[in-house]
Amino acid sequence: MRAWLLRIATSLLLGVLLGALALALGRGIGGAWLLWSEQEALRGMSGVLLGGLDGPPASDVRALRRHLARQAAVIDALGARIGYGVAALGAVVGYLWLERRASLQDGAAPRPPP
């Protein structure tokens, strides 16, 4: 009974670690994609900010900021979904692997006489 609980705890820990790694990778890749895909918008925003207060801005900075915030939220949500999915899959696969390994060890070990 205790070995079974240890296998469950180990598989859950494996799932959490894999999910955290997938979440970090997903957010990193998503952030890089956001920077790459929105380069023109970011250049426009930096031009407005560097231009100072001499006149009205050439573009709507608030709308651009809201657009970038929405894109970042979508990327974060996608990264979280990927992380949760990898965590669940890692926990299940880890548990099945540990159970198989334990059953093979039990089958190879001699059984005590009744």
pLDDT (tens, 9 = 90+) of the chain, 114 residues, equals: 788 899 999 999 999 999 999 999 999 999 899 888 888 777 777 766 666 656 665 567 778 888 889 999 999 999 999 999 999 999 999 999 999 998 888 776 555 556
Residue 84 lies in a domain: yes
Q: Measured on CA atoms in the order 23, 26, 32, 35, is the torsion positive or negative?
A: negative
* pLDDT score of 24: 94
* pLDDT score of 88: 95
Q: Measured on CA atoms in the order 29, 34, 35, 37, is the torsion positive or negative?
A: positive
pTM above 0.75, yes or no: no
| 19 within 8 A of 92, measured Cβ to Cβ | no
Residue 39 lies in a domain: yes
| 16 within 8 A of 95, measured Cβ to Cβ | no
Total number of domains constituting the chain: 1
Q: Residue 39 belongs to what domain range? A: 23-50+60-106
